[in-house]
Amino acid sequence: MHDLDNPETLAAILVSLKRQLRVHEIHRVGHGNEFYIFQTDLPSGRTVIKIPKDKIFSNVNDSHIDSQVLLDQEFALLQYVRECGILQVPKPLRKLSADGFGAIVMSFVPSDDSLPDQRQLGALLARIHSLPPPAFALSAQEGLEIPELISQRLTKRWGELNNFVPDLPVLPEMHTLVDIMESTRPAKQLLHMDFRLANFRTEAGNISAVLDWSNALIGHPALELARVAETGETDADFLAGYNEVAAFPRVESLIDLLFRLDTATMLALVFLSEDPDPERAGPAVARIRKLYTSFKSELKRGS
C-alpha cells in the first residue's frame, strides 16, 4: 500500500491543494508506478497536478529515492528543455507542498491516444540528445558517470534478479564492466531514458508532449537508443527520423550489449516484482539469457 492510498492522507492533501490553487474540484485521472496524476481547471486553463504515491520510493530496481527530488528535477528539466527550444513538453507552472508531500502543477496537454509517428519520434529524441547537459544534477545519475553508474546498478539489479532466477549466470566484476564502457565517458548529452508510448501525448499521430523525466541522465545517446530498442516500440522509421537530425551514435557491440542488458534486467524486475506480469516475465528473463550469451561470446572473442 502506498502512502497516498490512505483515504485520510489523500483527503488532507487534496483539501490543501484546493485551498492553494483556489479551486473546488481536483480529479484523479491517471497514475504510473510512482505518481498519481490529478487534473483541475484554473482561470488560465486546464492543468495537471503530479503527486507522488510515497514520500520515499523503494523497490527492487531503485532504493530510497526522495520523491521531492524527482519533482524538483522534473520541474527544472521541463523549464530547461523549453528554454532550449523543445516545446513538446508540458509547461511547468507551480511547485506546491501539502501535508509533507510535494506536488507540481503543469499545463494540460490533450491527447487522442493515437500511435505516434515513428519518424517524428526519432527526430524528437535526436533533438533532445543534441541539447547540452543542464547545470544541475540528476537523481538517477547518483553522482556517477555512465561507466560507473551502469556497472554499479546492473550489478545490484543482477543480484536482485538472482533472487527470482537462481540459476542466473555470474556477471563480470564491476571494474571489468567499467573498462568495457570507458570509451563512452566523454559523451555528455541529455537522455530522457523513459522514451516510450506511455509517456507520449499525441494528436493524429503528431507528438505534442513527452512526459516523465524522472529517469533522465547525462551520457552517451547509445545508452538510450539501446533502451528504446529493448522496449520494442520503435521501427525503421524511428531510426530514419533520428538520422535526419543527428548521426546515429555507434558504440562497440560489447558496449551495446551491456546497455541492452541494463534495460532488459530492469524490465525483468518490473515484471517479476514491481508490477508482476507472469506472461511478460518469462520472455523478459529469456531475453536476458540471450543477451548475456551474446555478451560473453563477444567478450571472449575480444580477449
Residue-wise DSSP of 41-92: EETTEEEEEEEESSSEE--SS--SEEHHHHHHHHHHHHHHHHHTT---SPPE
Which of 64, 88, 107 is the endpoint of a domain? 107
Q: What is the pLDDT of residue 59?
A: 76
Claim to verify: residue 151 and residue 7 sit in the same structural domain: no
As for how many domains the chain has, the answer is 2
Claim to verify: residue 139 and residue 288 sit in the same structural domain: yes
Q: What is the mean pLDDT of the chain?
A: 94
Q: How far apart are CA 213 and CA 223, in angstroms?
A: 16
Rg (the chain; Cα; Å)? 20
Q: What is the pLDDT of residue 20?
A: 96
Whether 112 is in a domain gets the answer no
Whether 123 is in a domain gets the answer yes
Claim to verify: residue 101 and residue 183 sit in the same structural domain: no
Q: What is the pLDDT of residue 300?
A: 86
Domain holding 84, by residue range, is 3-107
Which has the closest alpha carbon to 105: 22, 196, 34? 22
Q: Is the pLDDT confidence value at 303 over 80? A: no
Which has the closest alpha carbon to 274: 27, 16, 57? 57
Q: What is the pLDDT of residue 1?
A: 77
Claim to verify: residue 134 and residue 31 sit in the same structural domain: no
Q: CATH number of the domain at 198, please.
A: 3.90.1200.10
Whether 296 is in a domain gets the answer yes
**Three-state DSSP class for residue 278:** helix
Q: Which residue has the cell 500500500?
A: 1
Claim to verify: residue 55 and residue 177 sit in the same structural domain: no
Claim to verify: residue 101 and residue 240 sit in the same structural domain: no
Which of 60, 86, 107 is the endpoint of a domain? 107
Whether 253 is in a domain gets the answer yes
pLDDT digits (tens, 9 = 90+) for 208-251: 999 999 999 999 999 999 999 999 899 999 999 999 999 999 99
Q: CATH number of the domain at 102, please.
A: 3.30.200.20
Beta strand pairing call for 27-31 and 35-42: antiparallel
pLDDT digits (tens, 9 = 90+) for 42-94: 998 999 999 999 998 877 777 688 999 999 999 999 999 999 999 999 999 99
Q: How far apart are CA 232 and CA 48, in angstroms?
A: 29
Q: How far apart are CA 47 and CA 83, in angstroms?
A: 20
Which has the closest alpha carbon to 152: 178, 170, 133, 115? 178
Claim to verify: residue 253 and residue 229 sit in the same structural domain: yes
pLDDT digits (tens, 9 = 90+) for 117-150: 999 999 999 999 999 999 999 999 999 999 999 9
Q: Which residue has the cell 492522507?
A: 9
pLDDT digits (tens, 9 = 90+) for 96-121: 999 889 999 999 999 999 999 999 99
Claim to verify: residue 86 and residue 190 sit in the same structural domain: no
Whether 130 is in a domain gets the answer yes
Claim to verify: residue 27 and residue 152 sit in the same structural domain: no
Claim to verify: residue 142 and residue 248 sit in the same structural domain: yes
Which of 71, 86, 107 is the endpoint of a domain? 107
Whether 62 is in a domain gets the answer yes
Claim to verify: residue 181 and residue 250 sit in the same structural domain: yes
Q: Are 197 and 116 in contact (CB under 8 A)?
A: yes
Q: Are 263 and 153 in contact (CB under 8 A)?
A: no
Count Cα neighbours of 217 within 13 Å in the Cβ-side half-sphere: 25
Claim to verify: residue 191 and residue 293 sit in the same structural domain: yes
Q: What is the pLDDT of residue 126?
A: 98
Q: Is the pLDDT confidence value at 27 over 90? A: yes
Whether 153 is in a domain gets the answer yes
Q: What is the pLDDT of residue 141?
A: 95
Kindly list the strands in the beta sheet with 35-42, ordered across the sheet, starting from the edge strand earlier in the chain.
27-31, 35-42, 45-52, 101-107, 92-98
- Taking phi over 0 as left and psi of -120 to 50 as alpha, with beta for the rest, 143 belongs to left
pLDDT digits (tens, 9 = 90+) for 147-192: 999 999 999 999 999 999 999 999 999 999 999 999 999 999 999 9
